[in-house]
Structure 1
Amino acid sequence: MPHRALSQKRPYLVLSVLAALAYFYLQATNLPGLYLIPIKGSAVAFLALYAWMRHGSRDARMLTAALVFASLGDMAIELDLIAGAVGFVGFHIIALLMFLRHKREALEGRDSVMFIALLLGTPFVAYLLPYDPDMKPLVALYALPLGAMAAGAWASDFPQMRVAAGAILFVISDWLIFAEMGPLSGSPIPQYLVWPIYYLGIFLITIGVITTLRKRDPELRVVKGGAD
């Protein structure tokens, strides 16, 4: 029996990618910003639906909640930077709690160095990037849970090439936002790179976590009403 098309098996995943691409390209048009906000938010909102429908575990529910916060942050940041940051902090905290439920026994060598670099280096670099001294402590404060989330992803037993890599991309996208307040002020680099790097990061986290959960707990992998 041939496999069903991706759009039939994982429609929310396909819709998420389409929304992410639509937002990226529509930014260059004359479409009013208010119309772009729900398109932007729907990209991660569809990932949340994907996580909810693909597995029935507590971890999948936690990931879904984290993604809902990220989606709200995506939309809120277009109106207010602080409101957007609050949404993303919600993502970082819930994702970190989920990663802590799957932490590896011990970290050694390169893994321990990378863990410390993400945990401490993320807020340190964030602090250095803005030129405005009043912004430095604010972005560093935000970057504390960001770094903890990324370090937690690295220390978890989820696949590093997906989940930890996705968390690192999330960090890089936020660094680019902070750099726009400093050395990249006036540069088109953040405008073109922040969204694709961020979306790819959160996409990899979602796919990596859900795929792993489905392999470990196959009896919970199909939620009633979902497509397998």
Structure 2
Amino acid sequence: MPKRALIERRPWLLAAIVAAVLFLWCRNSTMPGLYLLALKALPLLLLAVYAVLRHRGKDTRSLAAMLVLEGTGAALHDLYDYPATVLMIIGHAMGIALFLNHLRRDLAMARKIFATALLLLTPLVLLLLTNTGRGAAAAFQGLALGGMAASAWASTFVRARVGSGALIVVVACLIALEWPSWQFAWPLFFVGNLVLATGVTGELRSRPT
């Protein structure tokens, strides 16, 4: 099984990382926009393939759907703002469904407070940062984004990986929406999803079926 895992799964993870580095290398080049757009989405699409191969089940299909929608939405953001926002909202909703399926029942009070703060403050911060013309879209996206992070933090998955990964995604999305010219928003977005996805799939594999 370890050799089979190396052959079938880890190359997809490596390919996702290589594609991310390649996009960072090429994004300020003269590469045609359509190819650059596809290259921007590719790392999360490869990460989605890794997830479904790493652990086959309903949970990883939800995770893969989240990664595909987030990757596509992030790639389309600069060209088609509202369709990209809709894709991101649906992607975050898939993440919420995944994490609520593994909600921790004996949640400590401090963890409840932090999860509630994520849920409520993320849309508020997003509304304050974005222009008034995007008010409704920003509110819905912030609510979905905050809900994804809050449910990840309140889930039975390890906070050090899954919860932290979700927080990094929140920070990256806030930066990308308010300061799109900042170069490190997308790398943070990829790293957050990478940490989250490997944390979820690794833990699901370690649990009894």
Q: Give the TM-score normalised by structure 1.
A: 0.84
> What residue is the counterpart of 2:149 in the other structure?
150
Q: Which amino acid aligns with 1:155?
A: A
Look up the match of 1:51.
51
CA distance in 1, matches of 2:106, 2:8: 40
1:4 offset after TM fit, Å? Answer: 9.1
Q: Does 1:200 align with 2:191?
A: yes
Letter in 1 for 2:13: L
Contact 2:169 2:188 in 1 (8 A): yes
Which one scores higher on RCO, CA 8 angstroms, separation ≥ 6?
1
* Percent of matched pairs sharing the same residue: 34
* Residue pair 1:128, 1:136 contacting (<8 A) in 2 also: no
Offset at residue 9 of structure 1 (A): 5.2
Residues 1:38 and 2:29 are matched in the alignment: no
Please say which structure displays the higher CA radius of gyration: 1
Instruction: Say yes or no: does 1:124 pair with 2:124.
Output: yes
Opposite residue 200 of structure 2, the aligned amino acid is V
Distance 2:69 2:155 in 1: 21
Mapping of 1:68-217 within 5 angstroms?
A: 68-130=68-130, 132-180=131-179, 188=181, 190=182, 192-217=183-208
Partner of 1:224: none
Aligned residues: 208
Any conservation in 1 of the 2:9–2:50 contact (CA below 8 Å)?
A: no
Per-residue deviation, 1:8? 7.0
Q: What is the alpha-carbon distance in structure 1 between the residues aligned to residue 48 and residue 189 of structure 2?
A: 15
Distance 1:15 1:7, change over 3 A: farther
Are the aligned partners of 2:176 and 2:186 in contact in 1 as well (CA < 8 Å)? no
Richer in helix (by share): 2
Structure 1: stretches of 5+ with no match in the other structure: 182-187, 220-228
Residues 154 and 164 of structure 1 are in contact (CA less than 8 Å); yes or no, is this contact kept in structure 2?
Answer: yes
Q: Is the 8 A contact 2:103 2:151 kept in 1?
A: yes
Shift of 1:54: 1.1
Shift of residue 177 of structure 1? 2.2
Residues 16 and 42, structure 2, Cα contact 8 Å, conserved in 1: yes
Tell me how far 1:113 sits from its aligned partner: 1.6
